[in-house]
Amino acid sequence: MTKWYYYSIFVYIGLLSVNASSQTGCTVPLSPVLTLVSVQPETGKTDLTWNLSSSAGIAAYIIYTYKSADAPPIDTIWNPSATNYTLTSTGTKYFSTSYVVAAYRLSVVPGEEGCPSPLSNVLSTIFCSTSIDTCNRRIEISWNKYSDFPKPVKEYKILVSVNGAPLTDLYTSGKSTENYTITDFITDSQYCLAVKAVFDDGTFSTSNKSCLSTKMQRPPDWINADYATVNEDNQISLSFTADPVSEIYSYSLARKTGTSGVFEEIARPVSNNGRILFTDAEAKPTNNNYYRLSAINSCNIPVTQSNICSNMVLDMQRSGDEMILSWNAYKKWMGSVSDYKLFINTGNGFTLKTTLSVSDTLIKLSYKDIMYEVSAEEVCFYIKASETSNPHGVTGESRSAQICSLPTEVITVPNVFTPDGDLLNDKFKPVLSFTPRDYHLIITDRNGTILFETRNHLEDWDGTRNGDPQPQGVTLWFLKVNTPSDKSITRTGTVTIIRNR
């Protein structure tokens, strides 16, 4: 207790003693003992209980709010057997109030005033206050300690009411505590709380009732990573879909490169009707980049996280005539991969080459199977994965960056043919491993007379001139070709006609 308290008691008792000494017909009685002060949480009323003064001739008990030495009494109870009193006051909603009780004895001298006893011990109501921390999801309740005299406090109970239900003991706190934290509460509800000091004899003192709303910004229950795909600008486009009931619109996008990398925030995108789109222009699509999206609440705290998504990387190795294509499996969707599709561009735009099963991550192609389709400087590929069975009804697609390879530009010219009609080696034509941009073939005899000429790489020579079969012997040829890689190739040589019949 403070020095002010003891000083006030001393002054007040002094005044009573002076008053008593002037009243020869009244002997100052002994003080009662205030045993309990308790608030009715639902009504705000305060119940006071005391033990009777052991002095005889008590006519009444006087109730005081203990504020100062000359505070006027609240009420006088003209009942010598009274041991309790209920006070109606709104103050219990806003602060703790201290009370004292005095016994009052009448004077034996007619006409003289009676005399009150010294004030009893002081007891104060428990006042509790509550607050909600929506950022860290917790309710804080605090209170002032109840006096350990005349009965020591055993423990404190936290009483809880949800949406108008009766107050119920839910939590226990130690006798030395003045606050308690609740984390297991229901959001978007009305909570009322009170504190109860419990004594060894089973009695207790309760506080006021403090109420608050637990309405909080609703986070998304889920965030779906729709895809990480390489776009036409060779950048990684990302799409996420969030739970539509979410009240959060701010998100944090993090990226790591490679399985051993560390996630770092790269953007703070916002949602548009539950859809979050972002294009990562900084990441290299030839690396495996991993992404995750987190919802950020109003306290700048991440509360919900998406599944991880990653772009696919297509790789190509050449082994002689064989092209070996391999890629990393797309396996971070909430659903599953339905198939892989390989697309090829030989010079006229990308077209579907083949559809592969979900277990495939490698395919081998023979260049000779596509060489006559090649009309560009490069042969290019990309792989695309499609999602199925997504729990949120989102169908994702992801494609890799395209990978290209120079075509194999080989020109092979036979040096003999037999145009004798036996359907074996009857025609002459240079063999190209590509489709030329330009083509010019001229065949002459030894005197320079043109026997055959064409600009169509598919046209061959049957060994005649204007329909007349040419005699067996050596002829000359001249070839000029412009390749898909824009190389100009000029070659000359001889081819021998052999007639077997």
What CATH code is carried by the domain that includes residue 425? 2.60.40.1220
Q: Are residues 160 and 144 in the same domain?
A: yes
What is the span of the domain harbouring residue 148?
Answer: 128-213
Q: Confidence band (pLDDT; 50, 70, 90) for 69?
A: low
Residue 229 lies in a domain: no
- Residue-wise pLDDT for 237-276, tens only, equals 999 999 999 989 999 999 999 989 899 999 999 999 899 9
Return the half-sphere exposure (C-beta side, CA atoms, 13 A cut-off) of residue 465. Answer: 11
User: pLDDT at position 72, please?
Assistant: 87
What is the rounded distance in angstroms from the CA atom of residue 303 to the CA atom of residue 309? 19
User: pLDDT at position 373, please?
Assistant: 83
Q: Are residues 395 and 415 in the same domain?
A: no
Domain count, the chain: 5
What is the rounded distance in angstroms from the CA atom of residue 27 to the CA atom of residue 19? 11
User: pLDDT at position 353, please?
Assistant: 94
Which three-class secondary structure state does DSSP give residue 12? helix
Cβ neighbour number for residue 62 with a 10 Å cutoff: 18
Q: Are residues 383 and 465 in the same domain?
A: no
pTM attached to this predicted model: 0.59
Q: Are residues 116 and 186 in the same domain?
A: no
* Residue at which a domain ends, from 69, 102, 124: 124
Residue 218 lies in a domain: no
If you write DSSP's letter for every residue of 136-147 in order, what string do you get? TTEEEEEEPPPP
Pairing of strands 204-206, 84-87: unpaired
Pairing of strands 488-497, 416-417: parallel
User: pLDDT at position 434, please?
Assistant: 77
Q: Are residues 120 and 141 in the same domain?
A: no
User: pLDDT at position 255, please?
Assistant: 97
DSSP assignment, residue 461? B
In the chain, what percentage of residues exceed pLDDT 70?
A: 95
Residue 181 lies in a domain: yes
* Residue at which a domain ends, from 280, 302, 324: 302
Taking Cα atoms as reference points, which of 382, 330, 315 lies closest to residue 352? 382
* Residue at which a domain ends, from 405, 426, 450: 405
The predicted model gives 415-437 an average pLDDT of 87
- pLDDT exceeds cutoff 50 at 14: no
- Residue-wise pLDDT for 16-67, tens only, equals 443 444 446 899 999 999 999 999 999 999 999 999 999 999 999 999 998 7
The predicted model gives 77-82 an average pLDDT of 97
The CA-atom distances, in angstroms, between 156 and each of 123, 127, 181, 198, 204 are 17, 13, 13, 6, 9
Q: Are residues 134 and 153 in the same domain?
A: yes
DSSP run (H or E) holding 5: helix 3-21
- Residue-wise pLDDT for 133-192, tens only, equals 887 889 999 999 999 999 999 999 999 999 999 999 999 999 999 999 999 999 889 999
User: pLDDT at position 501, please?
Assistant: 62
CB 498 within 8 A of CB 475: no
User: pLDDT at position 68, please?
Assistant: 62
Residue 273 lies in a domain: yes
Residue 453 lies in a domain: yes
Residue 74 lies in a domain: yes
- Residue-wise pLDDT for 349-407, tens only, equals 999 999 999 889 999 998 888 877 888 778 999 999 999 999 998 888 899 999 998 87
User: pLDDT at position 31, please?
Assistant: 97
User: pLDDT at position 354, please?
Assistant: 94
Q: Are residues 25 and 102 in the same domain?
A: yes
- pLDDT exceeds cutoff 70 at 455: yes
What is the rounded distance in angstroms from the CA atom of residue 18 to the CA atom of residue 465? 153
The strand pairing partners of 211, in sequence order, are: 192
CB 465 within 8 A of CB 443: no
Residue 224 lies in a domain: no
Residue 228 lies in a domain: no
User: pLDDT at position 7, please?
Assistant: 31
The predicted model gives 85-111 an average pLDDT of 93
The predicted model gives 315-340 an average pLDDT of 88
CATH code, domain with 199: 2.60.40.10
Q: Are residues 133 and 120 in the same domain?
A: no
Q: Are residues 325 and 358 in the same domain?
A: yes
The predicted model gives 328-337 an average pLDDT of 86
> Which amino acid is present at 427?
K
CB 451 within 8 A of CB 465: yes
The predicted model gives 11-15 an average pLDDT of 39
Q: Are residues 112 and 21 in the same domain?
A: yes
Taking Cα atoms as reference points, which of 167, 172, 168, 197 lies closest to residue 182? 172
- Residue-wise pLDDT for 267-310, tens only, equals 999 999 899 999 999 999 999 999 999 999 888 889 899 999 99
Q: Are residues 291 and 362 in the same domain?
A: no
- pLDDT exceeds cutoff 80 at 11: no
- pLDDT higher at 319 or 428: 428
Taking Cα atoms as reference points, which of 216, 276, 214 lies closest to residue 244? 276
Q: What is the 3-state secondary structure (H, E, C) of 289-314?
A: EEEEEEEECCCCCEEEECCCEECCCE
Q: Are residues 138 and 83 in the same domain?
A: no
Most confident of 19-33, 379-393, 422-436, 479-493: 379-393
The CA-atom distances, in angstroms, between 275 and each of 28, 131, 225, 293, 396 are 82, 34, 10, 12, 13
